[in-house]
Amino acid sequence: MISSQNIQHTYDRVSSLYDLFFKPWLESGRERAVEVLDPAAGSKILEIGVGTGLGLEYYPRDVEVIGFDYSFGMLKESKQKAYTSKCRVNLVQMDVENLAFADHSFDYLIGAYVLTVVSDPGKAIKEIFRVARPGARVVLVNYLRSRGKIMGVIEDLFHPIFSRLGLFTLDHDLPGLLKQNGADNIRTEPTSFLRTHHIISFTTPA
Ligand SMILES: C[S@@+](CC[C@H](N)C(=O)[O-])C[C@H]1O[C@@H](n2cnc3c(N)ncnc32)[C@H](O)[C@@H]1O
């Protein structure tokens, strides 16, 4: 399992260069995720692992976003984008595995390229379901393990290297975790130019 401290150190270190490497090829997923979320006017959205704030430009002006991240370095980079975004944005440092929000606080939740990075995705998903209102809409952008044998072998080969570096993991079954927690209306669509990532949308149990 990738450790939380490892993740925090890695993202603190790479934060100032993050946009240079991760904006261009992952951007379509961020934009599409907000389209699929389709938040109602006046709603409050929880953005999980907001990072350097690359997704903030896509929200409409009539919503409020609470964006949190574990890495102070990433949050520091996101401040300027929060300032120039169309909608109101509040940023806070928090761990998705231990959220400081009351049960059933949000109707809309979104997280891009985060659950492959957290130390315990099962715990993170449980927390996401806890703070979501019954029937809330959740949109995640994530790498999904390939069903192909060859890609599976490649993933198994690279997983220990990337997780030791504190970058990301390739060994968990996100659709399985969502089903275990009672997610409804699960839909997936491929995104990113290599089609390796997916937009996964669902609603929490009503
Ligand atoms: C690959 S980046 C994605 C950032 C952003 N969502 C984007 O689209 O560029 C993963 C982010 O998840 C954050 N993260 C990792 N573990 C976390 C945790 N336990 N709680 C909150 N954020 C976490 C990292 O600090 C990092 O900013």
- Distance between Cα 116 and ligand 1 center (Å): 9
Q: Is the CB of 71 under 6 A from ligand 1?
A: yes
pTM above 0.85, yes or no: yes
Please report whether residue 24 resides in a domain. Answer: yes
Closest atom of ligand 1 relative to the 95 alpha carbon: 20
- Distance between Cα 7 and ligand 1 center (Å): 9
Closest atom of ligand 1 relative to the 51 alpha carbon: 27
pLDDT recorded at residue 52: 98
- Distance between Cα 111 and ligand 1 center (Å): 8
Give how far Cα 173 sits from Cα of 59, 100, 106, 169, 189, Å. 29, 26, 25, 11, 16
Q: Scanning the structure block, which residue is given the tokens 């060994």? A: 171
**Which of 94, 114, 116, 168 is the best mutation target for the ligand 1 pocket, counting ligand atoms within 8 Å of the beta carbon and taking the most?**
114
Three-state DSSP class for 45? strand
Please report whether residue 77 resides in a domain. Answer: yes
Q: Is the CB of 96 under 6 A from ligand 1?
A: yes
Please report whether residue 165 resides in a domain. Answer: no
Please report whether residue 11 resides in a domain. Answer: yes
Q: Which domain holds residue 39?
A: 4-144+172-203
Q: How would you write the pLDDT of the chain (206 residues) with one tens digit per residue? A: 667 778 888 899 999 999 999 898 888 899 999 999 999 999 999 999 999 999 999 999 999 999 999 999 999 999 999 999 999 999 999 999 999 999 999 999 999 999 988 888 999 999 999 999 999 999 999 987 666 677 667 767 766 666 666 566 666 788 899 999 999 999 999 987 666 789 999 999 99
Please report whether residue 159 resides in a domain. Answer: no
Please report whether residue 187 resides in a domain. Answer: yes
Please report whether residue 155 resides in a domain. Answer: no
Ligand 1 atom 10 nearest Cα: 114
Report the b/e string of 135-161 with b at 16+ CB within 10 A. Answer: ebbbbbbbbbbeeeeeeeeebeeebee
Please report whether residue 157 resides in a domain. Answer: no
DSSP type of residue 129: H
Number of domains the chain contains: 1
Output the domain CATH number for residue 124.
3.40.50.150
